[in-house]
Chain A
Amino acid sequence: MKFSLAWLRDFLETDATAEEIAAKLTAIGLEVEALEDPAARLAGFRIARVLTAERHPNADKLQVLTVDSGDGPPLQVVCGAPNARAGLVGVLGLPGAVVPADGFELKQSAIRGVESNGMMCSSRELELGDDHAGIVELPKDARVGMAFADYAGSDPVFDVAVTPNRPDCMGVHGIARDLAAAGLGTLKAKSIESVPGGFPCPTEIRTDDPEGCPAFYGRVIRGVLNGESPAWMQARLKSAGQRPISALVDITNYVMLGWGRPAHAYDLTKLSGAVVARRAKDGEGVTALNGKHYLLDHEMTVISDDAQVHDIAGIMGGEHSGVSETTRDVLLEVAWFDPARIARTGQALALSSDARSRFERGVDPGFVEPGLELLAKLILEICGGEASEIVRAGAPPSGQHTVSYGPALCAQLGGVDVKPPRQREILESLGFTVVESEPRWVVTAPGWRPDIDGPADLVEEIVRIHGLDQVPSTPLPRADGVARPTATPAQALERRLRRAAAARGNVEAVTWSFLPEREAEAFGGGAWSLANPISEDMKVMRPSLLPGLLAAARRNLDRGAASVRLFEIGRRYMAEGERPTLGLVLAGERTPRGWANGKAQTFDAFDAKAECLALLGEAGAPVENLQVMGDSGAEFHPGQSATLRLGPKTVLARFGMLHPRTARAFDLDGPVAVAELFPDALPAKKSGGFARPAYAPPPLQAVTRDFAFLVPETLPAGDLVRAVRASDKANIVAARVFDLFAGMGVPEGQKSLAIEVTLQPGEKSYDEADLRVIAERVVAAASKLGATLRG
């Protein structure tokens, strides 16, 4: 909402400066986003008279002027304007002045070899108008030497961000009322005189949609002359950013911006029959004043005559019946529309307008007839003509509502103790009526404040006018002692996983939650697709964290990164819900080529496995008991990927090499290892205390024994290790593969697996017989898997 100081002063008697007003507006919730003084941009420009004008010696189109700028000797100025001539009084920009139109700072210079000490300016350069054919010509009596800003008149413009709850402040009058309440002046009492009707209204006016349009008031004014509006009105409209169009249009805009009251003027000759507010028929259409055609439906209220729709009620008039320079007779419409209906219609048509933004927030139902009178008065004054009697179809709601209010609430909720008489004063200055009764007051909100809903709203009114800076800062009550831990187990786990992953050299990324459809498809497809994505690249909610990380990996590799270790902790969006996930992508080089170890090495599936086990270990999972199983997914290399499970069903992670087809879909060339962890699948930790199980290191040293087995090629090493470990649980504390071999010396279809078994003696050291028995158990367990001890 933009308006000038002069316009504000039409409504507010005040001595405050523009800066003081701006500060107060912001302090009471009408945030001033900009305070601009068009005149301030004219600093350094002054009124000057051209004394002489000679041809430039070196240029045909230029003249060399001597200019009287009021003080000092005449200045020499080079000028290209055809109208520059001796005796002309115009506007001179001195060196240092900044041209408003282009921000160019004037300097003393030589133009084609002739010194120039400034510039005579055009209207366009000063942003006073569009004229750029010549320099500004001021009346001959304009005082030479006067600052042009003073001559043009300073009228600062406020740009206020009006919050959606304040339709009353979408008019200058409402803003003036708030300022007056805040002590910045006195609201000028402006009674709106009634304009007597000289004849019965010739047009029938009806509302057939009392729900959408409870009140439709109208009158005809005939014999108007729709020329230009007066300069004072144009100046006010321009300050609001409105281009003056014609007197009738300007007057309706002036009333809308001045009083927050939209209205519409129809060219009477374009109407036929009764003018009616009604529901649109499905499929009916109208071409609006913006030149676009809109298809309407039965949820929308329109104004129509016998022939067609002329107005999308409360939003935008129709092109057909709008007023023009030739309009002689007008029908004025001042109506009150249901705000919700306006909002729905505007949303459905994706059509915004100044009228809609006011109607959907709620215009003052008490200002229907005054608005019509005001319009008529202005039209008669400016355009002449004769007004008809008023036709009133329906009646606006009262708009007033009462709130039961205890003044103690101000301190209880607002935290500031404002004395009840002052509270009452504030409310009354804002137009509320207050009846003091015990224990609670009865406060009636004025019709222009549809936002007032309950006592809390009154506290807000009192506190904002009294001053939020008056609210003392009050410490929150605090629990005794040291602050308690607040993180839930899931939150603590997430933090731990994040820092563990980073500690292992992985870099955390945050990628978009949405993916291009094809990337989601590469990972099994997403369950959630947006109706209105920003772009096709951000359409489907991710079913996996890997696509976003793979795309990021590709961008990094494209930028020349040699090694990419990226992880992210976030959600996957599945049909059944959102699941916390850790995704990891390892691409490019695991180790760079080096003087010590030769060629660069790429990542493999075991790198991904190592990360999974390390992270699951940090998360408290029993990593030595996890099973490596299949079903990692079609996105993975079928022979180099697996799931890690706790028991056969609970999948804690999947990892491995990306399927080359998947890698290609993401434009990734080399081998890419990936992993996805599912922290919510981890069983909850049972222990509640801090003490650990009792433990004393065994007195006797552990011993190791090596076993080399020939096993079928297809036997997973993990199965053999598990069998060996389980073969004598009392003695065997660990078993690990230390050699894998196939080929020379190993029969076809078999491989050799060498296992180091760690034995922990208890009370006494092992003797040969003990060790023989344990070895027999190991070999027997292994043989059940088809393993034979290598001779």
Chain B
Amino acid sequence: MTARIAASIICGLIFGTGLVISDMINPARVLAFLDVAGNWDPSLAFVMGGALIPSAVAYIIRGRHSAPLLDSRFFVPANASIDWKLVTGAALFGLGWGLVGFCPGPAVAALSTGRWEAALFVAAMLVGMSAYRFSLGRRLPNYNFR
């Protein structure tokens, strides 16, 4: 377990560094990408493109192994059905993201700057997650992990 926690911290360190270097920590930059009818800033497309390369390589490597290095199995959902929860949830997330330019990763990273706006957003986000957990999310999820 200690090794897995250490791996989580290291991956988090790299992730947070990436969010700062790419400037995705800045909601104005994200909104400028989403503003296709305005002064469009393509940065986020380069971030996504850059991120997909090593991520895809890792998923290809994963296909050749039955378990990850530090755990007994992979916890990757095999569910392929596009249901109303996925569609509604993604639409709601897009709405909230477009309103202020924060998604979960950058909002957490922005806590490091001490900006109260980030803390307020993250606090509200956790309340929203609780609202789901204690309403529709009460039932145990039936993920079929491959």
A and B co-occur in one complex: no
